[in-house]
Structures are given as C-alpha cells and as structure tokens.
Chains A and B, each alone.
Chain A
Amino acid sequence: MKIIVAIKQVPERDARIRIDSGNKWIDLEDVEFSMNESDAYALEEALQLKEAHGGEVIVVSAGPERAGKTIREALAKGADRAIHLQSSDETELAAYDALGVARLLAASIQDEKADLVLTGLQSDDLGLGQTGVILAELLGLPHASLILKIEVAGNGLKVLRELEDGWFQHIELATPAVLTIQSGNTKLRYATLMGIKKAKTKEVRVIAVADLVASDPSLKPTAPSVVLDQVKLPHKQRSTQLLGGSPAEAAAALVEKLQFEVRVI
C-alpha cells in the first residue's frame, strides 16, 4: 500500500508564546517547533499499516525551510521518503487559507496516486480541521474524519471513528481514500538511533511553492475566504466546579470529565 501522510510543523506545546507586534500571529523568534500531534498519530498509523501489509510511506509537508527538521524526524521514525513543499519565507503560505493550502498539497501529491492519504485531524496552531477534508474533495476521493484505527479489510479498509459522548462508529470504505486521524489511540514510536542515522540518506524532494504556482496559475493565492484578524493570549483563569448528586453519580460525572474533557484516562 502506498500511503501519503501530510504533516505540519507547529510551535512546540510548551513554547514561550508571545504575540507579534501586528497582533496577527505569534512571534516566532526563539520558538521551538515540533510535529503537529495528530499528524504524529497519522504517521504512526501509516507506519503500522506498512509493517503489517508492506508498501511505502511518503510524508508531505508544506512550510518554510525549518519544516525540514520535522520531515527528517518522520523519516527517522520510518517514513521512506518525503516531499517538502517549501515556502520561501514565513509569510508566503500565510496568504493561503485552508482551501489554498489543500490545493497546493493536492498538486504536489497528485502524481503519486497513493492508496491512502492520512492527515491529522487538525493542526495545534490554527485548529481549523479543514485541510484533510478539503484535500479529499480536491483529489476526488472518499474520506472519513476523526479516525482512531485503520484495518485492512478485503480490498478496502475498516476504520474506527470517534463520535461524541463515548460513541464510536465502524465504517468500511474503499481505497483510495483520505482519512483524518484523531490523536491518542496508539502509542507513538520513538525514532531509533539507526533510523536517525539513516534518515539523512532518504530522499526529500523539495518543491518550491513559487515553482508549483508558476506551473499552474490556478494555485495562486486568491482572496482568502477566511482571514485571521487578531490573535491574543487566552485569559488565565481558575474555576472550580462542584459535582453534585450521590457519590456514585459524582464519581461517574468525574470519570466522564476526565475521559472526555481533560482526556487523561
């Protein structure tokens, strides 16, 4: 199976976040970056599928040169090769909304004719949850979102989808398909030292965003349908909630909160 995993490099979870002077984004100086969390789970699913059924895992990432670090991390974990859709600076991709980015990604992977395209559910920085779904539409493929588990069944796939309130859905779908992956269902592997050493020798095809756009003018940024108007730091607050009812009811409510709100159990 040929699997493409779209990964995004985002600011690290406990990065020191400062709003930049324009109030439109964060100040990227001194910020450390890492692989978007749900993308890491998408990569893990892809690697497990490859281990079980053979094939190839290709990662694709759109971002400036620094995203190369996250790409090589994916290669170190076991991806076979990569496509880096490289922007010339920090702002080039900011001119695109989710539709625009998905168009670029679709254009860069179209020729691969993959059996499966995985993305994370949403990015930790913008949290739009759109790119994967739009990508499916652009590629003309069926998709399912919020996927926790993928199994090969016959000629297609059987996937487990998370619904709300502890409900799940089993879906069967044909390949090729696009799935957006939810975090947390499996253990992420560590990059082995051998993997880290070998990553250097794996192919990373760099495609400049500008070159891609030059080859297909329809990929030029259009007036985005969504713009980021202002970013600000969340207000820190502490609130206490008292769970009422009998001890058994309170315990049940607590378990539910720990499971679905805080997601620690």
Chain B
Amino acid sequence: MTVEAGVSVAKRVVGGSFLLEDLTPDDVFTPEDLSEEQRQVASTATSFAEEKILAQAEAIEEKDFAVTRELMRELGELGLLGVDVPEEYGGLAMDKITSAIVADNLSVSGGFSVTLGAHCTIGTMPLVWYGTHEQKAKYLPKLASGEWIAAYALSESSAGSDAMNIRTRAKLSEDGKHYVLNGEKMWISNAGFADLFTVFAKIDGEQFSAFLIERGTPGLSVGAEEHKLGIRGSSTCPLVLEDCRVPVENLLGTAGKGHHIAFNILNVGRYKLAAGTLGGMRFAFRNGVRYAKERVAFGKPIATFGLIQEKIADSAAAIYATESAVYRVVGAIDAALADLNHDSATYAQDVQKRIEEFAVECSILKVLGSEALERVADHALQIHGGYGYVEEYPAERSYRDSRINRIFEGTNEINRLIATGFMIKRAVAGTLPLMPAIKKVMDEVMAGPGERVSYDGPMAAERALLASAKKLALFTSGAASQRFGNDLGEQQEVMGALADILIETLTMESCILRAEKQRKANAPGVKLAKYYAMRAFRVIETAAERVLGAVAEGDMLRTQMTIFRRLAKHEPANAVILGREIAAAMVEAGRYRI
C-alpha cells in the first residue's frame, strides 16, 4: 500500500502503552507503508551509499577526512543532511520516517555513519530545537549544506553515563560579554574536523548549560585521535577548554536548562541509531550470504549446511524484527507529531514533549538495534570462517564497527534501566494505567487456569505467544514491585530482565502486526515474523524466570512458577524447517530481501 507523503498512516497511540493496547495491523506503520516520496528518498540514499560511500570505504577507514568532508558536502547538496532542519534555514523539514530512512539506507560504513549521526542528530538537533533565530540563521544553513560539520561535546573523562556530573565550568566575564569556559571533554565524535561544537558546561559550577563554540575560538583545542577498536573512519578526540571565551549570544537555550537539551536529543539519537543499525545489518548480512553461496567445503557450498542456514535465518529474522520495531515506533512518533502547529511559538517544545512520550520505545530500539547488529555481524563473521577474521573481507570490519553501538547514546545498561524505570514511573504516576492492568492479570492468574483464547489467521500461534508475553510482562512487573516496592530501581538485574521482556514484547508484536498487514498467508515476512517470535518468547521466558527467582522463594515461588508455566505454555513450531526455508529464500536473493 502506498500512501500520500505526509499523510500519517499510524494510529495516534500513547507512548509506552504497548503492553496495554491491542493494536490491529492498520494501527501501525510498517516499512511496506512507505509513501512514494519516502521510497524515492530511500532510493537516493541507497544509491549514494552503494556508489559513493562504499567506493570510498578504504579512504574513510584510513581517516582521510578530506574524503569524508567531500561526501558530507555531496550529501548536503542532495538535501540528505537537512531532513530535520526547517526550510527557512536551508533544510527540508520532512517527517521522522524520512529521517529514519536516510539514517537506515546510508549506513554501509560504520565509521561514516557515526560521522553522519554525530552531525545530523546530536550535532544539529540542539540548534534546531533550542537555537535563537540569529543562531539558527547563522549556523543551520551551513550545517544542512555540509559546508560545516557539527559535534556534540557532553562526555568527559570522569562523566559519561553520569553526564550531569560534568566538571567543565563556565563563568560570565566581568563585562558580561563572554562566558569563559574551562575543562575538558572526552570521546567527541567529529572533533578532528568539526566546525561547530555544542559544549555542555556548568555556569558557576551549578547551572548545567550548552554553548555553541566555533572551531578556532581561542582557548578551544582538539586533542589527538583515539585509536579505536572499530568505526576507525570516524574522528574521536578529546577537547580542552582553557579560558575559552564564548560570546554570550552563543549560549544555547536557557542557562541552567541544558539538561533538557541533553535528554531530549538522546531520544532522537536513540531511534536514529537503531535506524542506522539496519543498513549495517543488511550490509553485513549480504556479505555473509554471498560468501556462504560461494564457499565450498566437503564438496558443497556451505550455504547448504543446516548450521549455516540457521545463522542466515536468525540474522534475517533479526533484521526483519528491527525494521518492524523501528518503523512502527517512528511511525507512531510521526502520528503523534501530525497535529502540531508548525507556526506555533512553542512548536519545538511541543515536538520534544511528544517524542519524549516515547522515551521507553526509544531506549528499547537502541538496545534492540545495537544487539541485533552485533548478532548479525557475528554470524556474518562466523560464516566466513578464517576469512572472517582478516581484514581482506568486510566481515571483520562490520564486526568491529558494530560494537560501539552498545556503548554510546546511553550504554545498553543505562537504556535498559531507562526502559523499565520510565515504565514504572508512569505506572506510579498513573499516566499509563499499568497498575489496573497488572491487577487484572494478577486476579486472573490467581483465579486458576482460565479459558485459553484462540486466534485465527496465519499468525494465530504467534498471537497467542504475544498475549502470553504481555501477561508475563505484567505478571513479573507486578511480582517485582510487590516484592521490592520503591527499591525496585536498586535491583538492577531485575530491572534489566524486565527490560528484556519489554524489548522482546514490543518487537515481537511489531513483527506480527507487520506480517499480518501484508494480508497474505505466504508473504515472505510471515516466516520471518514467526521465526523471530519464537526467539523473542524464549528470551521472555528466561527473563521472567530470572525475575521470579529473585522475588520469591518457597511456596510463593512454587505458586508463581505454576502461574508462569501456565502463561508460558505453548507447543514449539518447527524452527528447523522454517529456518531452512528462510535461508533458502535469502540465499537465492543473495541479500536480505522480503
């Protein structure tokens, strides 16, 4: 189905409500729903990635930043750096799906993708959302055209996850014309060649604030490049600020409100990171599949071996699942933004508030995408055998490049804590009716075995798994809060396990809805959705067991395990046959194709 661009096809759902709502396929956005315009953008991005970025993969990897800058300038000319920038400042002001498509389809080089992400998202968005008219007019056209490159400097050597604890200080000069900054920043992407830095510092050691600092400002110096495991084509350097005088008009946003900037940007950074992992996965996958077709062992192409096919199927399902979740969530964000008035004075704040509503989903996508990419890259390497371990083949680079995604934009530990933590916060505050839902499930399970609901259609079995997953999520959350109450936040392992349940529930639901939306029992996505649902449910079972083991003992534990087994009861489908069928289709295509 193709719809008119700009017309949102997803239902306006409340952020974080996925455990509570039963959606129909028509309620969600899927990659198959891309408008013609969005498909054209995808096509431009894909061609650019294949013909320009991949062609320069070696130069990028060798940190030939002249090449990187030239590619950025070309992207700017095409408009690909300005998707989220307002038109009056040289951008295109397109929807968030389009912005995700660009991040997705341009990602064939981990190093270059980091340059791009640091520029377009954390580098540019603070200015888009918090800049004054003068600041935006001065800098945004240059950033949208790629003439200037942006960087975002929050982390310090002793403050990463704990970002509010930064030590960089700012002090207003006596004449009131400058802020004088002192301190250091660490791990700053693009720092080696960026022209504009968004730097966070505390005014008088207290007011957390952001400043726009141009390269070449006296007192700002950029340290040496870090020697990294992966994404070697990106620039990562420390900054030193030594009596760095920043004009007062370069304070970004309000003094003391810099944390709003930092947190709101992160939500976008997270879903865009997840979108970017998609391109990386498809690239690693196709290299693995093509190798599997060509490599002969024991007289046969290794693609004919079951354990190779299993890796291919698992990878394809991971890509399908991440696509389903990313486009569903970003589609829901677009639906949430659809009725905002662009001309309103509070438009930027309104957008952030609506996106913030989906903070749980953004954290989920970040963890999902980074871990799926790592799995796909790992499978691709393993398929290559010894050749996967050497630089001559791209599998090695994909593997090294994937690793960073679990660390930046909030480590996966932090994002798991956020996913569960925010959910609980909303439940406690009553902004999401989770408490009544938990109570209902508790009552239901305590009442003993009830009637099992049966479902129809090609995804009937998976629908049943999904219903169980949602109940398990509510049941385990209920059990954990009963046991730990307000101290649940301190039980990180339990929070992490609950996050796993949330992640897999959202993802398996996204797969099921997408497969159903294709309305064909034999649609290629149906098999992938089924395959992923099985895997997701295994993860959920394991996590639920971990939670229950930690919250109860003795008779209580026995009762809870009885409930758990009842809820989790299902007959496994034949994953072996399904996996072979999926692998056969992918091997035939020589890439990820559905």
Contact = CB atoms under 8 A, between A and B. Distances in A.
B467 interface: no
Interface stretch (B8-16, B75-83, B188-196): B75-83
A197 B589 CA distance: 32
B48 A197 contact: no
Nearest to A190: B44
Interface in B81-135: 82-83, 92, 94
A192 interface: yes
Interface stretch (B35-43, B307-315, B328-336, B366-374): B35-43
A69 B41 CA distance: 13
A5 B331 CA distance: 37
A193 B36 contact: no
A193 B47 contact: no
B77 to A, nearest CB: 7
Contacts of B92: 193-194, 197
A72 interface: yes
A68 to B, nearest CB: 9
Contacts of A193: 41, 44, 78-80, 82-83, 92, 94
A190 B53 CA distance: 14
B40 A196 contact: yes
B5 interface: yes
Contacts, number: 41
A73 B47 CA distance: 14
A199 B41 CA distance: 12
Contacts of A196: 37, 40-41, 44
A200 interface: yes
Contacts of B78: 190, 192-193
A73 B37 CA distance: 9
Given A69-B36, A72-B36, A197-B92, A192 B82 contact: no
A138 interface: no
Interface residues of B, number: 18
Contacts of A16: 589
A67 to B, nearest CB: 12
A107 interface: no
B523 to A, nearest CB: 9
Contacts of B37: 196-197, 199-200
Interface in A70-86: 72-73, 76
A192 B36 contact: no
A72 B102 CA distance: 20
Contacts of B82: 193
Contacts of B80: 193
A191 interface: yes
Interface in A50-106: 69, 72-73, 76
Contact of B44 (A14, A69, A72, A192): A192
Q: Which of B41, B44, B48 has the most CB of A within 10 A?
A: B44
Contacts of B43: 73, 191
Contacts of B5: 200
Interface string A179-210: 00000000000111110110110000000000
Nearest to B46: A190
A192 B40 contact: no
A197 B79 CA distance: 11
A73 B40 contact: yes
B117 to A, nearest CB: 18
19 contacts: A14-B589, A16-B589, A72-B36, A72-B40, A73-B40, A190-B44, A190-B78, A192-B77, A192-B79, A193-B44, A193-B79, A194-B79, A194-B92, A196-B40, A197-B37, A197-B92, A197-B94, A200-B5, A200-B37
Given A191-B40, A192-B78, A192-B79, 10 more contacts: A69-B36, A72-B36, A190-B44, A190-B78, A193-B80, A193-B92, A193-B94, A194-B92, A196-B37, A200-B5
